[in-house]
Amino acid sequence: MSGSSFGKLFRITTWGESHGPGIGVVIDGCPAGLALSADNIQAFLDRRRPGQSKYATKRNESDTVEILSGVFEGRTTGTPVSLLIRNQDQRSRDYGNIASVFRPGHADYPFTEKFGFRDYRGGGRSSGRETIGRVAAGAVASLLLKELGITVMAYTKAIGPIHIAAEDYKYNEIRENPLYMPDNAAAEQAGAYIAALMAEKDSCGGIIECIADGLPAGLGEPVFDKLDALLGQAILSVGAVKGVEIGDGFAAAGSTGSRNNDPFCAAEGRILKNSNHSGGTLGGLSDGSRLVLRVAVKPTPSIAQTQNTVNENGENTEINIHGRHDPVIVPRAVVVIESMTAVTLADLLLQNMASTMDHLKKVYQDR
């Protein structure tokens, strides 16, 4: 077991359980000289903080970050940046009744099979709170990218059956509605849909889209560490994600070569593409166009309806899940997807530094 690290050079290691003392991340390999403060990170954490809308759990957490290392006089030093977020509102009593029963749609059963027992309080390590470390790291990665002119942005494309078509996006409205949709009107519809499901003690899923602009061509490492591949790992490692696609994705499977190929064109001394069915990657490397990926998020498995299941003794039983749960995971996962994308890009930017002798000479020969 050694799966709590991600990235080769910009490498993050997360730790922490839902109801333990806290959650955190160690970022090893952040280049020295990046301006970084707790405020920078807090702004990201606040976007996933619970208790902020009627569509989110009422668990009360300030999720305040403390920088424990790696920053001196406002800049990263090149040594590990350790970030700590204390848990505060741990009502473990909510979970006593499910300690020995496997919740459908949750990790309870396979965790018990794998490790012999499990920390049942709030899902332990498999809780959504695990993503705090990812978001804290994503904040740092995003700052790094920004210094190089690269921006990453995620938003909600669909909630249940309410989809927004790309041509209708109003990016400026994303932060104006609690569902982070690029269309306030659609968000209102989606809100009504969620409310109806809540009344039935049910939940729903949705689709998150993430875009990145300003990428140089050539990021990604053939063949297993392609940009697509590492994004795939990064995104599918987020709980509740069941699918990921890049560019036209599954729709490309039904297209033809003549329609799906993006012709190159030269304009103003740059090489561009006339379309972007590829979603910004060719041969596993960034192609200089906008990166576009979409993520399928399943409905919240914790629902208040009575469900059939099995207990640890292998006996059939029923379960009623209390506690505080989001009726839809999507809105709070938006910043998680954005963060994992940013971390992946930061790592590949660092890896790409060593891709040619020319790069090496640029750095070493004018010293």
> Interaction with a second copy in 138-157: which residues (CB under 8 A)?
144, 147-149
Of the candidate residues 185, 217, 320, 322, the single one contacting a second copy (CB under 8 A): 217
Footprint on residues 172-191 left by a second copy (CB under 8 A) = none
**Under rule CB under 8 A, residue 33 binds a second copy:** yes
CA dihedral angle for residue 58, residue 18, residue 206, residue 323, rounded to 10 degrees: -40
Question: Which is it for strands 316-319 and 307-310: parallel, antiparallel or unpaired?
Answer: antiparallel
**Cα distance between residue 18 and residue 360, in whole Å:** 44
Which span (43-51, 90-98, 182-190, 294-302) binds a second copy, by CB under 8 A?
Answer: 294-302
Does 100 carry a binding-site annotation? Answer: no
Supply the minimum distance, in Å, between the C-beta of residue 295 and a second copy.
9
Does 302 carry a binding-site annotation? Answer: yes
CA angle 40/42/43 to nearest 5° reads 70
Cβ partners under 8 Å of residue 285, min gap 6: 217, 218, 219, 220, 222, 226, 227
Footprint on residues 338-357 left by a second copy (CB under 8 A) = 349-357
**Under rule CB under 8 A, residue 74 binds a second copy:** no
Tokens of 154: 């995620």
Of the candidate residues 187, 296, 336, 342, the single one contacting a second copy (CB under 8 A): 296
Query: Of the two residues 36 and 174, which places its CB atom closer to a second copy in the complex?
Result: 36
Query: Of the two residues 123 and 172, which places its CB atom closer to a second copy in the complex?
Result: 123
**Cα distance between residue 219 and residue 123, in whole Å:** 36
45 exposed, middle or buried (CB, 10 Å; 0-12, 13-18, 19+)?
Answer: buried
Which span (38-46, 52-60, 99-107, 174-182) binds a second copy, by CB under 8 A?
Answer: 99-107
**Under rule CB under 8 A, residue 88 binds a second copy:** no
Supply the minimum distance, in Å, between the C-beta of residue 40 and a second copy.
15
75 exposed, middle or buried (CB, 10 Å; 0-12, 13-18, 19+)?
Answer: middle
Query: Of the two residues 115 and 171, which places its CB atom closer to a second copy in the complex?
Result: 115
Tokens of 365: 């020969």
What's the one-letter identity of residue 224?
F
Residue window 240-279: x/- pattern of binding to a second copy, with contact defined by CB under 8 A: -xxxxxxxxxx-xxxxxxxxxxxxxxx--xxx--x---xx
Tokens of 205: 């899923």
